[in-house]
Structure formats: structure tokens, C-alpha cells
Chain A
Amino acid sequence: MRAPSETAAGETLLAVEAVSLSFGGVKALTDVSFDIRRGEIRAIIGPNGAGKTSMLNVVNGFYHPNTGRITFKGTTRPKMRPHEAARGGIARTFQNVALFRGMTALDNIMAGRTLKMHRGFFWQLLRHGPAMAEEVEHRRKVEDIIDFLEIAHIRKVPVGRLPYGLQKRVELGRALAMEPELLLLDEPMAGMNLEEKEDMSRFIVDLNDQFGTSIALIEHDMGVVMDLSDRVVVLEYGHKIADGTPDEVKGDQKVIDAYLGVAH
């Protein structure tokens, strides 16, 4: 297990209270509550179809819960649009990579800076003076991210042509470009080989340490979860069945049953 970082005891950044969500007859989430503290890595685990992705979708405004409340940075909002979540400082990556396939890795990450760029339309038409100065300033920030993720060699490659592991890295880069306070990672290591997983784990820990970014991490690999996370939420069939440190959760009988597939 990871040594608890001193930031992990920060104040509550996100609080999810009694959230329920259903699609027609399917109950994706039932009465789920949990919180994420500033600076911590919070894992969300559970078997397939447990509602993990749905939880992230609720947090960043893609889905609106049927009941329940979400409080982010002290403000409670009944409905939040995804671009409002982005403005508020929530970034995410997707379970199935959702990059802009026709654009280069560099442009994908530059696109992540959209919200931070303010030069108006008419300056953009000229691409000189203030517009170019802004472009260069943000390019510098993006190059820092590119160095951090060690993807300098592929920055001019259209992402559609990159192997899967690198696509996941570029997607993380795009999310980082937003300088988020809360980063939602939906299975960032799915489909990777051991080496790629180790790289990705290192990036996640480093960015949490260096920038203090709070992270919600969905992951199936228990080794990774135990190594990286400060606290773990366990979902099963849309219900929260456990919540605690990795060690607490690991010993929990309900969790063991859920993972061994004991009949209810």
C-alpha cells in the first residue's frame, strides 16, 4: 500500500449523497454516497456492470441522477452540464479512449487548454499579435505535459494511428492540460501490458504528488488499486457495499463474496 500522503487528509472536495440513477428498468446506481478529499487518490472498484462508469458520468454531468445531491467545492448543484463541470475543474478520461482521432497528439492536448484561452474570434482570424502570443504560451504548458508523459516523439502523429497504450497516455495528457482539481480516470490501464501499466501507474502517482490533483480511479487490477489508492469505494449492482482503506476493503467479507461471485 502507498504511504498515506500528507495531503490525503485534506478537506472534502466532492461529496456524493444518496445518488440513484436508473435507465428505464435498469437501476445503475441505488442510494450511493461517498466523498473525495482534496489531494487523495480514490479508487472505485466493482464487478462489470456495477455502475462505476455511471458514477463518473453523474459526477461530471453527463447523466443527471434521479435523486441525490452532488456537492463539488462547497456548491451543490441539482443539474450540471459537462462543460460546466469542466469549467469547475473536473477532467476525465474514458473507458474506451475518446480522443479526437483526426487530430495530432499535440492538437488533442492543446484542445484541452480551450477553456484557458481567451483571445476572441477576431484575433483568431489573424493568428498574430496577442492570439499568437497566447498560442505560444499555452504550447509551452502543453510541452511540459508532453515531457511529463514522455510522448515527445509522437506529438505530431494523428492519434488514430497510435497504438492503444499511447492513445491512453495522450488522453491523460488532454485531461491534464485542463489543470483539473479533480481528475476522473475510467480504467486508464485497461488493455495494457505490464510495462505500460507500470508507466501509467507512475504518471498517476507523480501527478498526484506534484500537482496535488485529486483523482477518482476506476480500475479492475487489484494490485494497482492496492498500490495506488488512499481509499476505495466498492460498488456491486449499483449499491455501495464497502468503503475504506485498501486493507479494510480487502478483508471485507461482502467484497470477497462479490469478487468470488457468491450467489445472493
Chain B
Amino acid sequence: MLYREAGQFKESYAADMAIFPIRQDRIGLAIILVAAFVGVPLAASDFVLAVVMVPLLIFALAAIGLNILTGYTGLLSLGTGGFMGVGAFACYKLTTAFPDLNIVVCILTSGVVASAVGAVFGLPSLRIKGFYLAVATLSAQFFLDWCFVRIPWLVNHNVSGAIEVPIRTLFGVAVTGPNASPQVRYLVILAIVTFLTWIASNLLHGRVGRSFMAVRDMDIAAELIGIKLYQTKLLAFAVSSYYCGVAGALMVFLWYGSAEPAVFGIDQSFLILFMVIIGCLGSLVGSFFGAALIYGLPIALRNGLGALGLQIPAATVEHLTLMTVGGLIVLFLIIEPHGLARLWQIGKQKLRVWPFPY
């Protein structure tokens, strides 16, 4: 079956406004979903699930969060790590305060706390833009870092100062804690990430998404068509931080198992920012690509070099990956500022008209 629009006449505006108007795209999506929900858990080893797939999905979710703010609304943020931390600590407080509360509910609710904190730190965006806003979010990052370390109440006064994830089950199966199997963790994360990606896609394709992009592209004109700048920017901060918060909670509860506050430092903010830039500013699928590349590349390098029989010290591999990622970012900024998702688009466009280029 050729990848074509031709012959698929859209009978209604609703069909034309569907998020995937081309049939092959919908089929492709269905295949990916089946593969992700059925194929991967059956085929992949525990190692691949726990070390590759779980982190990748979590990073993709955080990247979607930052992308909503930076890619769609044009507000640069360096506070992602902090907002993820808020989600993680909120989830910890929730699960320990209400031990009987369903873990998925806890995780999804902890995003609400992150969302509120994000909106508060978004207040400066009403007055300042661009570089200055980035500095303001940087101070949010440092302030939150400080809170995570200095407020023992956040970790229930654990002497270690770290979040120690309690054991929680879902339908009798362990989801968090040492006994949770990679399969279960992967499936729970996948379900949450799929659901939230669908929600984000809905939001961004409608009125709210258009106001975000309007503010990003030309704030004067946005105001002129009746969009309230401050409401829109705060909403973007709130929604974005929700996603980051949930990603943070998932990171600690379903990946790390325990976490020091340092996990949510400025490094994390930059890592997610790189994912968004390489993936594509203003693209949901790009967030997945970016996460896959930035997180997957070091793993691929490490294992690839090992498989080649090269004995390279771990530190050198670390340096190599840093250099490769740095080089890639520079390369993308120069050659294809729209990132991997743009290459994907171009590929599809070529395929759509193949074999006649015009």
C-alpha cells in the first residue's frame, strides 16, 4: 500500500481535522502501539526494558512537558529538573500520607502540585522574555534544589535525605519497590505516557494549542485577536510543569527506586532541553526522537563498542558520548534547526509524492 493522501477524500471537516488524517499514519500508529504494548514486553529482555525502555519513556514525557513550554509557547525554561523534583517529592508525600491511595492516582496527582509550582514560577514571564526569562527559571531551579535538600519534611525526615520508594501494588502486582518486575513497570509507564501524549496532542491541536503558538510567534498580534497573554503563558507553565512533574514522579518511583535531591539538579534541566532541541521544538513525536537519541546514544555507544571487542575504559566512553551529543546539537542547530521531527516530516513528504518529485 502506497503512502498517499490521494483517493482518501475527507468527507467532513471533522475527518480533515483528525490528528492523523492519512490512513497509513493511523495504521502506522496502531502498529506502533501494538508493538509497544505487546511486542516489546514479550520480546525484550529485562535489561532492555529496565535500562532502555523505561528511562526512554520517562524522558520523552519530560521532553513533552518542556516542549509545550519552550517549543509551543516560546518560553525558554531551565527549571525542568526542579519541576520534575516537585512531582517526585509530591508523589512521595502523597503515597506516604495516604498509603491506600492507588499509586497511579498518586503519580497523576503529584503532577498537579508541580503544575501549581510551575505556574508560580511562571509569573515573571508576564514581564520578561527570552534570555531574562531563562535566568528567572534558572533561579527557580536553584531555589527548588535548595528546598529539596533543606526541608527534611519533604522526605519525611529520613536520615539519608533521600526519597525511599515504598512498595505499592496495582491489582495485587507490585508496581514500585524492589519486587516490581521490569515488565510491569514498563507497562504502567507506557500506559501513562501514551495517555498523556494523547491528551497533549488533543490540547495542542485545538484552541489552547493555537493560542500557545500565537503567543510564541507574535505576541502583539495574539493580544490583538483577543488572547490574554498572561493567562496563556501561565497556562503553558502549568501544563508543562504537570508533565514534568509526572515524569519526575515516574522517574523515582518506577525507575530509580530511591533518589537523592541531586537527581533533580540543573544537569537534568539541560539534558531535557537538549532532547527538545534535537528532537524538534514544537513537535510531540520529536520529543520521543530527542529522548531516544540523547538517552539511547550513550547506551548504543557503550554496547556497540563492547560488541566490537574494543576495550575502552568507561570514562572514555562517557567523554565520547558527551562529545558526540554536543557535536550533534551544534550540527542540528546549524543544519536542521527543526530537529529530527523535521527530517521525519521531510521523509514523509517525499514518500507522499514518490516517485514523482513534483
Contacts and interface: CB of A to CB of B under 8 A. Distances in A.
Interface stretch (B79-87, B156-164, B217-225, B328-336): B217-225
Interface of B: 12-14, 16-17, 19, 199, 202-203, 205-208, 210-211, 213-214, 216-218, 220-228, 235, 282
Given A124-B207, A174-B225, 17 more contacts: A82-B224, A86-B223, A87-B226, A98-B221, A100-B216, A101-B218, A102-B217, A103-B214, A111-B225, A114-B210, A124-B206, A125-B202, A127-B203, A131-B206, A136-B13, A136-B17, A140-B13
A132 B16 CA distance: 12
Given A100-B213, A103-B213, A139 B13 contact: yes
A62 B220 contact: yes
Interface in A86-110: 86-87, 91-92, 94, 98-103, 107, 110
Given A100-B217, A101-B217, A103-B214, A132 B14 contact: yes
Contacts of B211: 111, 114
Contacts of B199: 125
A59 B351 CA distance: 50
Contacts of A107: 210, 213
Given A136-B17, A178-B226, A102 B12 contact: no
Given A107-B210, A136-B17, A91 B203 contact: no
Interface in A55-95: 60, 62, 81-83, 85-87, 91-92, 94
Sort chain A's interface into a size bin.
Answer: 35 or more
Nearest to B15: A136
Interface in A179-217: none
B207 A83 contact: no
Contacts of B221: 94, 98-100, 174
A150 interface: no
A177 B272 CA distance: 38
Interface stretch (A16-24, A35-43, A115-123, A226-234): A115-123
A85 B224 CA distance: 8
A136 B218 CA distance: 25
Given A102-B282, A135-B206, A114 B216 contact: no
B208 A124 contact: yes
A115 B205 CA distance: 17
A87 B207 CA distance: 17
